[in-house]
């Protein structure tokens, strides 16, 4: 039997929500930038990395550990 780690799952969801919020917030700021394409490329890379880490945390938290 496995026990789920809900703390890791919750932190994963919070990270995922903050990555999405950061991405959409930066999209609204991008037109004011000197180079919006490079800005959005960097923001997409950062948000994608944080999103991937959060998905891994959610999966490992739901799998849990053995008792």
Q: Which residues of 17-52 are buried (b: 16+ CB within 10 A; e: fewer)?
A: eebeeebeebeeeeeeeeeeeebbeebeeebeebbe
17-41 pLDDT, tens digit per residue, is: 999 999 999 999 999 999 999 999 9
**pTM, to two decimals:** 0.86
Express as a percent the part of the chain with pLDDT over 90: 91
Q: Would you state the pLDDT for residue 55?
A: 97
Domain range summary for the chain, segments of one domain joined by +: 2-66
DSSP 8-state class, residue 33: S
């Amino acid at each position: 039997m496995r026990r789920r780690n809900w703390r890791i799952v919750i932190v994963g969801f919070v990270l995922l929500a903050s990555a999405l919020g950061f991405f959409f917030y930066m999209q609204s700021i991008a037109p004011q930038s000197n180079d919006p394409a490079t800005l959005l490329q960097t923001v997409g890379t950062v948000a994608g990395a944080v999103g991937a880490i959060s998905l891994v945390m959610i999966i490992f938290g739901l799998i849990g550990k053995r008792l």
